[in-house]
Amino acid sequence: MNAESILALRRHPAASKIGVIMIAAALVLLPFVLANIGTAWVRITNLAILYVFLALGLNIVVGFAGLLDLGYIAFYAVGAYVYALLASPHFNLHWPFWAILPLGALLACFFGVLLGTPTLKLRGDYLAIVTLGFGEIIRIFLNNLSQPVNITNGPQGVTLIDPFRIDGFSFATTQSIGGLTFNGPIKYYYFLLLVLILVVILNLRLQNSRIGRAWEAIREDEIAARAMGINTRNMKLLAFAMGASFGGIAGGMFSAMQGFISPESFVLVESVNVLAMVVLGGMGNIPGVILGAILLSFAPEVLRYTVGPVQQQLFGRTLLDPEVIRMLLFGFTLVIMMLFRPAGILPSATRKRELESKRGA
């Protein structure tokens, strides 16, 4: 939120409270509305929330600290496999989720530092190439660590992964509470929504803290930031570590929701997709990043369910594969955004001023 929006909320506190209440009510009722359309839409919403987690984590690295990361999906894979291996028959371990998720976040954090350490002096294209290679290395390792000791089960992936359970309450079963039917996707939706609120609050606190201002200084001018006494080395490593930990948590929740994972879920395209969410919404602006993640999560699914039937009605057959049209529109939208609104849909005030000053110069 920028200064103008904060001042507007202070001038109209009653209106802001009503707005918050309406948004909260809409979020509470949303899964039941979507369930009437189809349970698949509740699952799509849950995946969209996971993408919001990933976008917020990558925004710490790209938006706050100004570092490019094309291998961010690797941390997502680390968290997913940590949960899958410790909560499945693969090693015959069935640890509780509240013990595995922090462990996945810590391991992803370690890999974030491992990636950040050799890239501290790299910027631009060189940093992009190194991070891209790191993401591919993780995927290749997961794909091949089945011999001579079967650790990841290779390309076959890990199956029969345990869902979240709390004292016998399983998130994978359907239950009736107070006359309302809560199936697995609806239960996961409320859990993900609660975690998302905590993640957003943490991001807002980070952005407005001394650490957030140090990241912003590094993004604007690293040499000046170092001259002002900021330990740029530690701040960069902290950005990589914190961004990676968010990806690790999201990966663990993805693994529990799906019940099956394989290396094919963590390809380079996914990293590019998450980066596009951050850029489209507005780098460095938390509401913008959330909006970008939601748009790029739902738009492909809407096109998938509408493009095919529309072609059938108009031409009697499918002329173009919906996937081709989806990628075409996706690329066209990004090109238009970069030409006419390069700062994103909801840019941060700082980045907006940067682009305006560059245009003026």
Residue 85 Rama label (left phi>0; alpha psi -120 to 50; beta): alpha
Q: What is the pLDDT of residue 358?
A: 59
Residue with token string 């060189």: 126
pLDDT at 117 over 70: yes
Q: What is the pLDDT of residue 329?
A: 78
User: Length of the chain, please?
Assistant: 361
pLDDT classification of 342: cutoffs 50, 70, 90: confident
Cis check: omega of the bond before 148, within 30 degrees of 0: yes
Q: What is the pLDDT of residue 348?
A: 77
Q: Which of 13-17, 79-83, 189-193, 280-284 has the lowest mean pLDDT?
A: 13-17
pTM for this predicted structure: 0.90
Please give the structure tokens belonging to residue 286.
Answer: 């938390």
φ, ψ at 107 (rounded to 5°): -65, -40
The contacts of residue 148 (CB under 8 Å, 6+ apart) are none
pLDDT at 7 over 60: no
Q: What is the pLDDT of residue 82?
A: 96
> What one-letter code names the amino acid at 150?
N
Q: Is residue 282 a contact partner of residue 348, using CB atoms and an 8 Å limit?
A: yes
Give the three-state DSSP class for 70.
Answer: coil
Average pLDDT, the chain: 87
The contacts of residue 78 (CB under 8 Å, 6+ apart) are 104, 107, 108, 111, 138, 244, 247, 248, 251
Question: Cα angle vertex 106, ends 256, 243, to 5°?
Answer: 90
pLDDT at 147 over 90: no
pLDDT classification of 241: cutoffs 50, 70, 90: very high
Q: What is the pLDDT of residue 151?
A: 93
Task: Please write down the long-range contacts of 295-302, taking CB distance under 8 Å and 24 or more positions apart.
Answer: 295/345, 296/51, 296/330, 297/44, 297/47, 297/48, 297/51, 297/52, 298/44, 298/48, 299/329, 299/330, 300/326, 300/330, 301/41, 301/44
Q: What is the pLDDT of residue 239?
A: 94
Please give the structure tokens belonging to residue 187.
Answer: 């239960």
> Of the ranges 80-84, 233-237, 327-331, which is most confident?
80-84
Please give the structure tokens belonging to residue 30.
Answer: 């949303």
DSSP readout, 307-325? HHHHHHHHHSS--S-HHHH
pLDDT classification of 181: cutoffs 50, 70, 90: confident
Structure confidence by residue, pLDDT tens digits, 22-79: 888 999 999 999 988 888 999 999 999 999 999 999 999 999 998 888 999 999 999 9
pLDDT classification of 287: cutoffs 50, 70, 90: very high
Q: What is the pLDDT of residue 75?
A: 95
Q: What is the mean pLDDT of residues 121-146?
A: 89
For residue 247, count CB atoms less than 10 angstroms from its CB and return exposed for 0-12, middle for 13-18, buried for 19 or more.
buried
Residue 259 to residue 214: CA distance in whole angstroms: 40
Q: Is residue 50 a contact partner of residue 185, using CB atoms and an 8 Å limit?
A: no
pLDDT classification of 8: cutoffs 50, 70, 90: low
pLDDT classification of 11: cutoffs 50, 70, 90: low
Q: What is the mean pLDDT of residues 257-285?
A: 91
